[in-house]
Structure 1
Amino acid sequence: MFTNKDINFEALKRKAYNGRWATLEEGIIPLTAADPDFRIAPEIEEGIIEYIKDGYLSYGPFSGLPEFNKSVSEHFNTEKNGFFLPENILAVNSAAQGMFLIAKYVLNPGDEAIILDPVDFLFKKSVEAVGGVIQLCPIDSKTGDIDFEKLVSLINSKTKLISICNPHNPLGKIYSKEVLIKISEIASAHNLWVMSDEIWSDIIYDNKEFCTYSSVSEEAKKKSFTVYGFSKSFGIAGLRIGAILCNDLEILEDFTEKSNFNSTIEGVSTLSQIAATVALEKAKPWFKEFLNHLQNNRNLAYKILSNSGILTPNLPEATFVLFPRIDNGFTSENFAQHALQQGKVAIVPGSERWFGKGAEGHVRICFSTSTEILEEGLNRIITSF
């Protein structure tokens, strides 16, 4: 199901944008955007077809279809130690939109938000888009450990939000319950909001436990939002579907109203919600096979890069990206350019643009492809230097 023969390259060259097959010259292997190369689960295809058979695509409820809200809440409660009711869920147009809406709700122009460094660029972008000011909290680029002393020192009267990425992109770190409790204690002591981006929380290796942020303490429940999406686990990025979860119903109702989700100004495609619902209710056997394939790819990539002499890899606990350190003296940008021009492989440089100041000296490599393509791509990078 996840071999080279299972990939429709013609379809990818027509449809896979965002730095992938449809945007690159012939012969270049993209190990870039975190998007699977495989077709979606057959259950999702069948669910979409079944839904439109009667010919109706009417408005759905503004807060999301009941079956969508129920499936997301149950997924978090059974898989991530959550305590959510269906009413605690708001359907949104992707996790990325959820991050922006939360920043807009929490921050006024000039307010400050603390984000991790390095971390995915959307954290910075969402805050700056609403006139907020970023404060960077450094984390260890190998282990993902948070510098809590620095975190506390960044808090002042303008601070309103702490944003975390768990599991962490690009380091693949899972933050433990103990670490999350510490964040909740700091946030509570200073009356701060917390946003936890948990879009990667399905892709967990070695049967490690994952705790959704709001589950770890009473303090964590009170002023927090959780963001979730379906693009990583189920490959439906083009359907633009995600969810915001909030344990406080009054806060979520106020958020829904102020984000214009109580009218036809906002709202999410019902077809996208059906696809996501089917993914959670019927496609988990497919996902388990996908996860097993990803873990094998992770192990292979780690082994190849460990013996490369030019990159020292991390071993991610989650996600399907590696964030190896560059060992041959190249900058992140120059390394990625060399890999593209000489090796014909596209990877993401660990530049400030994509991940913040703390990412320099690294590159990000996505491994959600076939074993054959991954091995070919990594070997091309290594032999190009």
Structure 2
Amino acid sequence: MFTHQDINFEALKRKAYNGRWATLEDGIIPLTAADPDFRMSSEIEQGIIDYIKDGYLSYGPFSGIPEFKKSVANHFNTEKNGSFTPENVLAINSAAQGMFLVAKYVLGPGDEAIIFDPVDFLFKKTVEAAGGNIKLCSVDSKTGEIDFEMLTSLISSKTKLISICNPHNPVGRVYSKEVLKKISEIAEVHDLWVMSDEIWSDIVFDKKEFNTYSSVSEAAKKKSFTVFGFSKSFGIAGLRIGAVLCNDQELLEDFTEKSQFNSTIEGVSTLSQIAASVAIEKAKPWFNDFLTHLQHNRDLAYSILSNSDILTPNLPEATFVIFPKIENGFSSDAFTQHVLKEAKVAIVPGSERWFGKGAEGHVRICFSTSKEILEEGLNRIIKSF
């Protein structure tokens, strides 16, 4: 199911955008956007077909169809130590939209949000789009460890939000219950909101425990939003489906109202919600095989890069990206341009644009492809210097 022969390159060249197969010249290997090269599970495909067989695609409930809300709540409660009811779930069209809506809800003009550095560029983008200002808190670019002294020092009367990325993209760190509890204690003392982006929380290696942020304390439950999506775990980015979860029902209802979901201005395709529900309810065997394949690829990438003098890898605890350090003096941008031109491999630079200042001197490499493509791509990169 996750072999080289299982990849339909013709389909990818027609459909895989966002810096991937459909956007690059023939012969270039994309190890760029975090999107799998493998087709979605047959269960999801069948679920979509079954749903549209009667010919009706009517309006659904504004906050999400019952099957979707129930399956997401169950998923968090059984896999991530959550305590959500279906009513605690709002269907949204992507985790990215969820991040923006949370920032818009909690930040007024001039209010400040603390985000990690490095971290995925959407954290910065969504806060700025909502009219907020950014404060950067350093995390270790190899381990993802948070500088708590710095975090506390950044808090002022303007601070309203701490945004966390767990598991961390691009470092692949899974934050322990103790670390999350520490964040919740700081947030409680200063009466801050916390937004936890948990889109990567299914893809955790070595059977490591994952705790959803709101589960770590009563304080964490009271003033937090959790953002989730299905593009990474189930390869359905094109369906644009995610969720915002919040344990405080009144708070979520106010958020839903202010985010324009109680009308036809906002709302999510019922077809996408069905696909996501089927993914959780029926595609777990597919996902478990996918996770096993990804762990093998992580180990392979780590091994190949460790034996090179060009890049020193971290060992991600989660995600399907690796974030090695450049060892030959090239800047992140120069390294990726060289690799694209000389090795015919596309990767993401650890530049300020994508991950913040703390990412410089690194590159991000996606490994959600076949063993053969990964091996070929990494060896091309190493041999190009």
Question: Structure 2 length normalisation: TM-score?
Answer: 1.00
> 2:193 & 2:5 partners in 1: Cα distance?
47
Residue in structure 2 matched with residue 287 of structure 1 by the alignment: 287
**Matches for 1:228-307 after TM superposition, within 5 Å:** 228-307=228-307
**Matches for 1:321-360 after TM superposition, within 5 Å:** 321-360=321-360
**Structure 2: gaps (5+ residues):** none
> 2:19 & 2:109 partners in 1: Cα distance?
32
Residue in structure 2 matched with residue 189 of structure 1 by the alignment: 189
> 1:266 & 1:85 partners in 2: Cα distance?
22
**Matches for 1:152-191 after TM superposition, within 5 Å:** 152-191=152-191
**Matches for 1:61-140 after TM superposition, within 5 Å:** 61-140=61-140
The sequence identity of aligned pairs, in percent, is 82
* CA-to-aligned-CA distance 1:7-35 (integer Å, 9 cap, x gap): 00000000000000000001000000000
> 1:279 & 1:44 partners in 2: Cα distance?
6
SS in 1 for 2:25: coil
Superposed displacement of residue 298, structure 1: 0.3
Superposed displacement of residue 193, structure 1: 0.1
- Asked whether 1:312 is paired with 2:325, we answer no
- Asked whether 1:380 is paired with 2:368, we answer no
SS in 2 for 1:90: strand
> 1:101 & 1:150 partners in 2: Cα distance?
27
SS in 2 for 1:297: helix
> 1:301 & 1:111 partners in 2: Cα distance?
41
> 1:131 & 1:82 partners in 2: Cα distance?
31
Paired letter, 1:347: I
> 2:130 & 2:255 partners in 1: Cα distance?
15
> 1:304 & 1:142 partners in 2: Cα distance?
17
* CA-to-aligned-CA distance 1:121-151 (integer Å, 9 cap, x gap): 0000000001100000001111110000000
* CA-to-aligned-CA distance 1:265-290 (integer Å, 9 cap, x gap): 00000000000000000000000000
Paired letter, 2:93: N
SS in 2 for 1:91: strand
> 2:130 & 2:195 partners in 1: Cα distance?
15
Residue in structure 2 matched with residue 148 of structure 1 by the alignment: 148
> 1:17 & 1:308 partners in 2: Cα distance?
30
* CA-to-aligned-CA distance 1:336-363 (integer Å, 9 cap, x gap): 0001000000000000000000000000
* CA-to-aligned-CA distance 1:51-108 (integer Å, 9 cap, x gap): 0000000000001000000000000000000000000000001000000000000001
> 1:131 & 1:180 partners in 2: Cα distance?
27
> 1:46 & 1:339 partners in 2: Cα distance?
40
Superposed displacement of residue 230, structure 1: 0.1
Paired letter, 1:300: L
> 1:151 & 1:88 partners in 2: Cα distance?
29
> 1:216 & 1:162 partners in 2: Cα distance?
16
Paired letter, 1:54: D
Paired letter, 1:37: D
Superposed displacement of residue 170, structure 1: 0.2
SS in 2 for 1:18: coil
> 2:273 & 2:285 partners in 1: Cα distance?
20
SS in 2 for 1:314: coil
Residue in structure 2 matched with residue 208 of structure 1 by the alignment: 208
> 1:29 & 1:93 partners in 2: Cα distance?
29
> 1:310 & 1:80 partners in 2: Cα distance?
37
Residue in structure 1 matched with residue 39 of structure 2 by the alignment: 39
